[in-house]
Every structure is written in structure tokens, then in C-alpha cells.
Amino acid sequence: MTDKLKLGIAGIKPGDNTLHGFAIAKDDTCIPLDDIELVAACDVREENVRGTRERSLFRDVYTDYREMIEKADLDAVLIRLPTFLHKQATIDCLKAGLHVLCEKPPTCTYEEMLDVAKVARSSPGKYMFVRQSRFLPSVQAARRMVQEGKLGEVYCAESRWIRSRGKQILGNAWRSEKERGGGVLLDLGVHGIDQAWFAMDKPKPVEVTAATFTAFKQYATDPNTYSADDTVAGMIRFESGAVLACLFAFGMNAVGPQNPNQPDKPYATDWQVSRLFGTEGGLDIQKGELIHGPVDSVEVEPLPANGYPSGSPMVLQAREFIRAIRTDTTPLNSLDDALALMRMLSGLIQSGETKRSVRLN
């Protein structure tokens, strides 16, 4: 393939000029990447489609993705629909022979991901899922240090993403509906777990345990539809014996450490933690710190992240999608990774529901 990749987008966000990294924002519009031709877009909300048409970002616009993939001249589709639509939209695009980049989480359940994988393995189209933080220099550097044994044996990791009180609970209604959005684990947890797991060099998960809570239903805009978990505490055990402890919350009566980018606020109300602990050293990915030194003292140094591609992780992710298509190779965010990630997430959800640990076959 030497021509530009003809891209369609399922799911329009008003005012989005970067299009998940496939374009660069400039003033009130966007400039597509050199390898990309913005061909078609669709959204069920007529006003979003109308706004896209008025800005002339795409050649064709639709209100149904199925009509778009049938009528538009496309090579690939970016799917960024609500979570409960990911499975069917991905399958429909792959069956049409199109390359797919699907927003996280890849599906709602592991069983749905198995259905996607079956189609993907027989389709000429490439499959990739969105996990942009894998392309951060700090995450790339952390993974390389693990691969090279610089931390010794990595036996434990920690991942958290917490939002204070109820800001998240008051918005994005579908995210707090169990059948449509899946709750905090499929919204924030997918980011945190994947980042730590990827940095650990993707060890094989064998067992999970979790406790799930719906703690803030009383504050929801519509308590009758607020059915998903808003807090999850869990642990993933790997074949190597290492563990990943995690905590995610849409709302919690807690605050985080001060954000250096917001010096006027003494604490953070939306913060993440991703740390790896080895026998020879440790890493704090969010802070970009390497912790090591003699056994009787501690040395804290900047994480050596020079030499890795920098810039927007969304753009780097989009370029990886294009690269995999051009070279007919497996993308960094692979189908097998999506299967493993959804197995962990579904296992944690099952454990929370049954109040028992779950073995991952």
C-alpha cells in the first residue's frame, strides 16, 4: 500500500481536532497525518455529524457506522463508540475486510473478546486496540529496564487511579451502567492495569481476586440507572509468582499528592499511581523516578527515558497502527494482548460478584 490510508471514524466528539492522534490540531481545525486521508465519519447524534460536515473535515458523513462501512471507500476504521458497541462494530468492520483501531476497553467481557478474535484471525484487516500510555517514554523505558533485568526480579507492582468525591459520578451516564459501560474497572482500570502489566513485560496472569463497590449511587443523577461498580480493589497473580495490586475509583473520600502542574492546589482530586518493585530497584512511572542504591541507603534518580520517541502518545499510537498495516506486521497493542487484558478484567469483575478468587485458564 503506497497511497494514503483512507480512514473512517465511528463516533464523533464535538471540538475534537486531534481525532485520536490521526490529526494535528491547528486553530479551530485539524491537519491529518501525512499518511492519512479523512474519508468518512459517523455518529448517531445528528448535531455532531452536522458540525463535522460544516467544518469539512470528512468527505462523507453518516449517522450509522454500518452504512458508512458499506458505502464509503475505506481502508480502516477508528471505533470510539460507547463500550457496549465495541464488539459488534469491530466484528462488522473486520468482516468487511477493514483494519480496525478500537477504543478501550476492547470489549465488555472476555467472552466478547473471544468472538472478536475469531473474526480477526480470519480477516485480512489488522486489529489493534487503544492504549496510548504504552507509547509514553517513561513506560517504554520501564519495560526495557525490566527486560534487561535492571530491577532484578520484579515481584510486585501497584496501580491506582482515583478521583475524589463525585465529579465522575455526575457525568457520562452510560459509563456507570453495568451493561453499557461496565463501570470503573472498564473505564479507569483498563488504563492502570494495562500500563503496569505492559511495563512488567506482560507476565502471564493466572489468578485474580477483587472486591467491588457501588458506594456513591445516592449521588448519581439517576440512581435507577446507576448499576455499575464505582470502586474496585483487587490483585492479579502471575505465573512467575509476581503480583499486581490495584485500586480504582470514580469517587472516593480521598485526595492525592499535589500536582506540580497545579501549584495553586495543595492536593490532587484526580491522580494515578503506577509503580514496580524489584529485588534490585524500583520504578515510579508517574513521577519518572528510579529507586535503587546500596542496601543501607536509598538513591532516587530520574527514570532514564531518553532515546525513546516523544510527542503525543496518541499520535505515536496512530503511527504504530499505520506502520503495522503498511508492513503487515503485528501492532504493539496486539490481539493477543487484548485477549489477556480482557481475561484479567473479566476475572476481576467475576471475583467481585462471587466474592471468590478466580483462576484464569
Could you state, in order of their start, the residue ranges of all structural domains in the chain? 5-130, 133-314+341-359
Q: What is the DSSP letter of 15?
A: T
Q: What is the mean pLDDT of each run of 10 residues along the chain (361 residues)?
A: 87 82 82 92 84 72 96 98 96 99 97 99 98 97 98 99 78 65 89 99 99 86 79 98 97 90 91 97 97 92 92 96 98 99 98 97 81
Q: Which pLDDT value is given to residue 169?
A: 67
Q: Which pLDDT value is given to residue 181?
A: 66
Residue 315 in grid coordinates? 499520535
Domains 5-130 and 133-314+341-359 share a fold: no
Q: Which pLDDT value is given to residue 326?
A: 97
CATH of domain 133-314+341-359: 3.30.360.10
d(CA 55, CA 231): 40
DSSP three-state, residue 39? strand
Q: Which pLDDT value is given to residue 47?
A: 80
Judge whether 1 and 36 are in contact, CB under 8 Å. no
Cα-based distances in Å from 281 to 25, 140, 286: 40, 17, 16
CATH top class, domain 5-130? alpha beta
d(CA 245, CA 156): 8
Q: Which pLDDT value is given to residue 174?
A: 61
Q: Which pLDDT value is given to residue 85?
A: 96
From the list 157, 197, 193, the residue with the least C-alpha distance to 277 is 157
Q: What is the DSSP letter of 256?
A: B
